Amino acid sequence: MDYQSTYFHEVQYYETDAMRIVHHSNYIRWFEEARTAFLKQEGLDYDKLENRGIMFPVLSVDCQYKMAVSFGQTVKIISKIDYFSGIRFGLSYEVYSQDGSVLHATGKTTHCFLNTDLKPINVKKYALDVYEHFLELTGSAE
């Protein structure tokens, strides 16, 4: 019953830019890192699902940058599954300093489920166990 997940990312030099801070595009990649770690921890590994023919590409992202992150820092990312409909799901993210005292950014992503032909699938019909897993994560199962 982990409705949220904590992930740590150590900032890499190659993630910085000429403003001497992390380039904003990398937060989108960090969301992916946090999301895959979250799902993996719940037994919903990206690669295992892909091997079963289930992909969940990104339909939308947004990110609000509040305080720049620099090389030398480790960030702590809290991810949460906001909703899951069987067709789509959404997560939200909070990027903190390692000790949690500074909120660096917040963001959201939404996803659908596709088969390997990139056609949308209803995951309840396609893979009931995956469906039930996701339901649990959103706390919607009774």
Give the C-alpha distances (Å, rounded to integers) separating 69 from 19, 20, 61. Answer: 11, 9, 19
**Contacts with its own copies: how many residues (CB under 8 A)?**
38
Please identify, using beta-carbon distances, which residue of 46 and 126 lies nearer to its own copies.
46
The answer to whether residue 140 forms part of the interface with its own copies (CB under 8 A) is no
Tokens 């019953």, residue located: 1
Q: How many CB atoms lie within 10 A of CB 100?
A: 11
Site for its own copies in 87-116 (CB under 8 A): none
Contact 87, 35 (CB under 8 A): no
Residues that bind its own copies in the complex, under the rule CB under 8 A? 12-14, 16-21, 23-26, 28-29, 32-33, 36, 45-48, 50, 55, 57-65, 68, 70-72, 118
Catalytic positions = 17
